Amino acid sequence: MAVEKMSLVSVSGPLKQVNKTLVRCCETKCFHLEPNYYTLTYGSAQFKTLKDKDIYRNLIKRAEDIAQGLGIEDKTVAYDGITMEAKHEFDEYFRSIEEEVGDLISYKGFLDESIDQYHQALRHIENLSNLDTDFKDIINCKYVKVRFGRMPSDSYTKLSFYSDKDFVFVPLDENEGYVWGVYFAPVSTKSETDDIFNGLYFERIRIPDYVTGDGETALADLSHQIAELEEQREEVLKQLSEVKEREYDCFLKVRSKLRFLDSSYEMRNQVSVINNRFHMAGFIPTRKLGAFKEALSSVTDIEIEDKPYFIDDRMKPPTKLRNNWLFRPFEMFVKMYGLPAYNGIDPTPYVAITFMLLYGIMFGDLGQGLVISLLGFILDRWKKVKLAPIMMRIGISSAIFGVLYGSVFGNEELITPFFHSEPFYTLMGQPHNIFQVSTYLLIAALVIGVILLISCMILNITLSVKRQDYESALFGANGVAGMVFYVSVLVAAALQLVLGIQMFTPLYIIFLIVLPLCIMFFKEPLAHVVANAVRGNVLQTQKLAVANAAIRTSDRLDENDARKLRKQLDYIQSMKNVRAVYGRMPSEAQMKLGYHKNSDYAFVPVSEKDGMVYGVYFTPKSEKAKVDEIFLGLSFERMKMPSELTKYKRYKASGKQEKTVKEKKSVGNMIVEGFIEMFETCLSYLTNTMSFLRVGGFILSHAGMMLVVNVLAGTELSAGMIIVQIIGNLFVIGMEGFIVGIQVLRLEFYELFGRFYVSDGKEFTPLQVNV
């Protein structure tokens, strides 16, 4: 019930293995590639991306031609059992089919084309049926070339421009934007005329040579010829169908695999390449690391290295929610609102519980709840609708509350409702139906709302402390101050109204109502004070850390060097915008640092291991690019800063904060804004609490709607009554069930999520191909 733990994995190997590796990565469906990892680390000048031509395009075209020839539909299937991967293997497979049926396919293509042309010619000749001249006489003209065909009507208009040319165009028919006709040109100007008509999009239609006689005779001849061609085509299809039957399954699998390989090939442009080796890095769920390595073990000469996700702070790990079967469908709502950060909290269980609870309370009916569940089951089983599993769960919740309310398809006499059992019956004044307990229902709804709102405030305080956002945790409307104010007002009001205890004493008002309000009003200056205190603390810790680091290295430095280093560090620390980068570099490279001693940086080695020196370099922001280049040239590899050194980073953050504080608004502005915010906050406590009244309102609305259905249906058992009951229930399920769903979602997103949830996560999108 949390966010899936991730590991940062880098895969590298010879360039020739890149396709195979990508294919395997896609097959694992758990590798979230970070295409910019290497270019971010080493710069785009060092690493190149692959941009080459698609090598599978021709094979795919051949597969499409074969499929068209054999009449195999465009379908993608699972390609289990297909071992071919290399280009030549596919080539061989397609060649074997082409050798067997290639001629037949070509012949079929020829027949198709001929039949099509003959049909068109037939259509053409139909327009010439009044022609009393023998076609043979026209076609066989010795000194005049004749072309039958059609051209777009627009082109026909343009013919007037060529009135001085040696040709005649005879329009025969015009329909659907085309002019059908024939043009005559002397043999000597044949090429020029053909070019003109070609430019005018003239589509030539060949009249078969044997078509003789006038229009009527030609029509009959052509029809006969088409019949003969179709007969031949049938024969060819019969022969092809045998091959199709034999190869169908295999061909579909091969083509699917080929498409998969083609799509995975396109992913090559996300891989970084240097010195004929490819490198890629990305995130994998830690629990799937073993399976991933196992899947890639079939690719030789590649290296897989896994590191903790935090090793590189520039790579933000993606978020993959992981919940049990009960809560999992509700992840949809969380994704809809926005995913939490990788280190954040997954609110799915909270959403799932509150959603089921609120839905059940608002739409409690045993019969209708079970119908919703059944509908959800059907939609999930056959249509795979995403909302269906949620329907199954909320349906059951609705059924459970239906038992409590004693409602079965609106009938409240089959089951004894909870308010008819002791001690509720006596406490509630012996009510007969649910409408008589409406006041209690509304109060209960408010109590539920209050509990949920307070739970959200507690969550917000916890998460804000975790984020070190003290303003939100201590002084915000959903922080400690806000919660004290809200709870105090509610407790005092409730005790005074229910038990008549006077709670609003001056002390109570001053300390538990006015003080929290003042804290909320002055939250900005207060937050500033806290931030300064924390920052001072951080600065002290940082000085200590730097001193420690310097002392640790002092055994390798003489007194003078150590003094110089400390001086340098002090100088850098005194600067407002300093940048600290942690990483490692080869020991020999550290020696070369002396060549750049005039540059504005300081390198503090922290430890040394396996010929690598680990340490931090500091640089003013203005010198960032220059210094980064120096360290890049020395093969410095950036890494996530160890926790004991992260104070350096905070230094940067606090520097930024200081700048923001300086840009702050005037006191007047702060007071006006604070007052408006206070007003809005107080109003929101009231409105958000009242908003939960709808929970009780919908219970009554449901009972009311079913009462109407029952009145319309009547009490006498008849076909009419059954029909009205069915339609009425379906209407209530469709309309009210839907509205309640929307209302609950609104409560979740608006009243609850807004108080504690920060959605700044990145979705886990495993590498996969769409075929």
Q: How far is the CB of 369 from another protein (least distance, A)?
A: 38
CB nearer to another protein: pick between 35 and 674: 35
Q: Which stretches of 43-86 are DSSP H helices?
A: 57-70
Least CB distance to another protein at residue 180 (A)? 11
User: What is the nearest approach in angstroms of another protein to the Cβ of residue 258?
Assistant: 14
Ramachandran assignment for 241, one of left (phi > 0), alpha (psi -120 to 50 degrees), beta (any other): alpha
- Closest separation between CB of residue 349 and another protein, Å? 35
CA distances (Å), 315 to each of 37, 308, 310, 763, in order? 7, 12, 8, 13
How far is residue 419's CA from residue 434's CA, in Å, rounded to a whole number? Answer: 8
Residue with Cβ nearer another protein (60 or 682): 60
Identify which of residues 118 and 309 has a Cβ nearer to another protein in the complex: 118
Closest approach, Cβ 86 to another protein, in A, equals 20
Distance (Å, whole) CA 37 – CA 134: 76
Q: At closest approach, how far in Å is the CB of 205 from another protein? A: 10
Taking Cα atoms as reference points, which of 410, 456, 454, 406 lies closest to residue 432?
406
Alpha carbons 515 and 536: distance in angstroms, whole number:
27
Cβ 120 to another protein shortest distance, Å: 8
C-beta of 697: minimal distance to another protein in Å?
35
- Cβ–Cβ under 8 Å, residues 284 and 30: yes
Of the two residues 64 and 561, which places its CB atom closer to another protein in the complex? Answer: 64
Q: Nearer Cβ to another protein, position 109 or 431?
A: 109
Q: How far is the CB of 267 from another protein (least distance, A)?
A: 9
CB of 259 to another protein, least distance (A): 10
Compare residues 180 and 355 and give the one whose CB is closer to another protein.
180
Q: C-beta of 452: minimal distance to another protein in Å?
A: 37
Q: How far is CA 505 from CA 492, 493, 502, 575, in A?
A: 10, 12, 7, 53
Q: Residue 22, Cβ neighbours under 10 Å: how many?
A: 27
256 vs 373 by CB, closer to another protein:
256
Interacting residues toward another protein by CB under 8 A = 53-54, 57, 60-61, 64, 113, 152-155, 157-158, 160-161, 176-178, 196, 199-201, 203, 266, 269
CA angle 251, 256, 258 (to 5 degrees): 95
Which residues 6+ apart lie within 8 Å of 697 measured at CB?
442, 445
- The residue among 153 and 568 lying less far from another protein, judged by its C-beta, is 153
CA 377 to chain centre: 25
DSSP code per residue over 729-770: HHHHHHHHHHHHHHHHHHIIIIIIIHHH------B-------
In the block, residue with structure tokens 């929610």: 321
Distances in Å between the Cα of 184 and the Cα atoms of 118, 141, 147, 149, 188 are: 21, 10, 7, 12, 12
Work out how close the CB of 741 gets to another protein at its nearest, in angstroms, rounded to a whole number.
27
Q: Please identify, using beta-carbon distances, which residue of 123 and 322 lies nearer to another protein.
A: 123
| Least gap, CB of 161 to another protein (angstroms) | 5
Structure tokens at 434: 């649910």
d(CA 138, CA 341) in angstroms, rounded, equals 80
Kindly tell me which of 23 and 546 has the beta carbon lying closer to another protein: 23
Minimum distance from residue 623 beta carbon to another protein (Å): 23
Concatenated DSSP letters of 239-266: HHHHHHHHHHHHHHHHHHHHHHHHHHHH
d(CA 734, CA 387): 14
CB 521 within 8 A of CB 676: no
Tally of CB atoms within 10 A around 210: 11
Residue 398 and residue 363 in contact, taking contact as beta carbons nearer than 8 Å: yes
Residue with tokens 């809200």: 486
What is the C-alpha separation between 19 and 376, in angstroms, rounded? 42
Q: 269 or 421, CB closer to another protein?
A: 269
Q: Which is nearer to another protein, 49 or 323 (CB)?
A: 49
Q: In sequence order, which residues have a C-beta less than 8 Å from that of residue 275 and are 6 or more positions away?
A: none
Nearer to another protein, 155 or 759 (CB): 155
Q: Which is nearer to another protein, 195 or 644 (CB)?
A: 195
